[in-house]
């Protein structure tokens, strides 16, 4: 027991658990905003307005076509000095980066889910006297949202892992905390094993639950 308590596997845990709190906070905050962006731009891609559709497509393609790391640095350093003229703190920049990045992928999830609903559902809504907006709200969206749940869960796992890139702007998430610990103790192997295990403790149960949920929803 003493050998375990004196090992770096054990001693690194308090550092990593502090990082886990930041990882969880930024992931959930970023995905909450990202879902709003994804819903807006996903529906925007389906809009009959060429302007709205084009702007939504540009957002999705630009974000999906550039590295996440570049986006983080652009928001944290590029925007502050090059465009808006004042500093953005690292936490705000991190949530913004996760939200914008996840929003582009969620937009495709939303677009695909809505597009997958049979055209007869749209026609049924209009035949009942509902407007296009009411048809979307009461008939199409509830069915589409059910189909979004599994891929949204996958996006949660992806965004959770993407927070590891935030160490470049000194966000004290799991990887950053791990680096701080092994820089002091010179124990990179043991520490990084624990970093990976901590991610796996979150991602594996989440993935298993999503598979079970997908079978249950039959989507």
Residue 1 is predicted with a pLDDT of 43
CB-based contact 117:143 (threshold 8 Å)? yes
Domain span at 166: 2-217
Which has more confidence, 202 or 85? Answer: 202
- pLDDT tens digits for 22-79? 999 999 999 999 999 999 999 999 988 999 999 999 999 999 999 999 999 999 988 8
Which residue is associated with the tokens 């990084």? 192
Please provide the average confidence, as pLDDT, over all residues in the chain: 89
Token output for 77: 């350093």
**CATH number, domain at 65?**
1.10.3720.10
Q: Can you tell me the mean pLDDT for 96-113?
A: 96
Residue 124 is predicted with a pLDDT of 76
User: Which pLDDT band holds residue 3 (cuts at 50, 70, 90)?
Assistant: very low
Our count of domains for the chain comes to 1
User: Which pLDDT band holds residue 88 (cuts at 50, 70, 90)?
Assistant: confident
* Angstrom distance (rounded) from CA 156 to CA 164: 14
CB atoms within 10 A of CB 156: 19
Is residue 82's pLDDT more than 70? no
pTM: 0.90
Q: Report CA dihedral (201, 8, 94, 55) to the nearest 10 degrees.
A: -50
């Amino acid at each position: 027991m003493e050998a375990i308590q004196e090992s770096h596997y054990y001693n690194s845990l308090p550092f990593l658990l502090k990082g886990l709190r930041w990882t969880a906070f930024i992931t959930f905050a970023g995905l909450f905003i990202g879902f709003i962006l994804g819903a807006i731009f996903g529906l925007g891609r389906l809009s009959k307005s060429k302007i709205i559709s084009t702007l939504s497509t540009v957002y999705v393609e630009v974000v999906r076509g550039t590295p996440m790391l570049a986006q983080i640095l652009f928001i944290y350093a590029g925007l502050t000095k090059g465009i808006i003229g004042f500093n953005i703190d690292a936490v705000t920049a991190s949530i913004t980066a996760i939200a914008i990045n996840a929003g582009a992928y969620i937009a495709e999830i939303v677009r695909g889910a809505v597009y997958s609903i049979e055209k007869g559902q749209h026609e049924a809504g209009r035949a009942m006297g509902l407007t296009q907006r009411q048809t979307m709200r009461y008939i199409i969206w509830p069915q589409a949202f059910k189909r979004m749940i599994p891929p949204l869960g996958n996006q949660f796992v992806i965004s959770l892992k993407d927070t590891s890139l935030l160490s470049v702007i000194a966000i004290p998430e799991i990887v950053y905390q791990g680096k701080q610990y092994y820089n002091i103790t010179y124990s990179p192997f043991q520490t990084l094993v624990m970093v990976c295990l901590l991610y796996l403790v979150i991602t594996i149960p989440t993935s298993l639950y999503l598979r079970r949920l997908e079978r249950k929803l039959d989507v």
